[in-house]
Amino acid sequence: MARWLTMIWGRKALRVAIGVGLAGMCSASGTVLPSVPDAARALPPRSATVPPGATPAASPYAGSPSPSPDATPGPSSSAGAAEAGPAQTGALPRPGEVERVRKRAGRPAVVTAVPTRRKVVFLTIDDGWEQDPGFVELVRQRAVPITVFAMRDAVEARGVPDPGAAGGHYVGAGKWSYFRELRDLGVPIEDHTLTHPNLWGLGYEAQKAEICGSAKVIAKEIGRRPALFRPPFGNFNDSTLRAVKACDLSALLLWTASVQPGGKISYQTPDKKLHPGDILLLHFRADLARDFRVLLDKIERRGFELGNLDAYLRAAGILPPAPSGGVPADQPVG
Chain-centroid distance of CA 274 in Å reads: 18
3-state secondary structure of 148: strand
Percent of the chain past pLDDT 90, that is, above it, reads 57
- Per the DSSP assignment, residues forming a β-bridge with 306 are 121
How confident is the model over 164-173, as pLDDT tens digits? 655 555 556 6
pTM of the model: 0.73
Q: What gap in Å lies between CA 141 and CA 24, rounded to an integer?
A: 40
How confident is the model over 98-150, as pLDDT tens digits? 999 888 888 999 999 999 999 999 999 999 988 888 999 999 999 999 999 99
DSSP calls for 22-81: ---EE-SS--EEPP--TT--PPPTTS--PPTT---TT-TT-S-PPP-PPPPPPP-SBTTB
Set out the domains of the chain in order of their start, with CATH numbers: 30-43+74-315 (3.20.20.370)
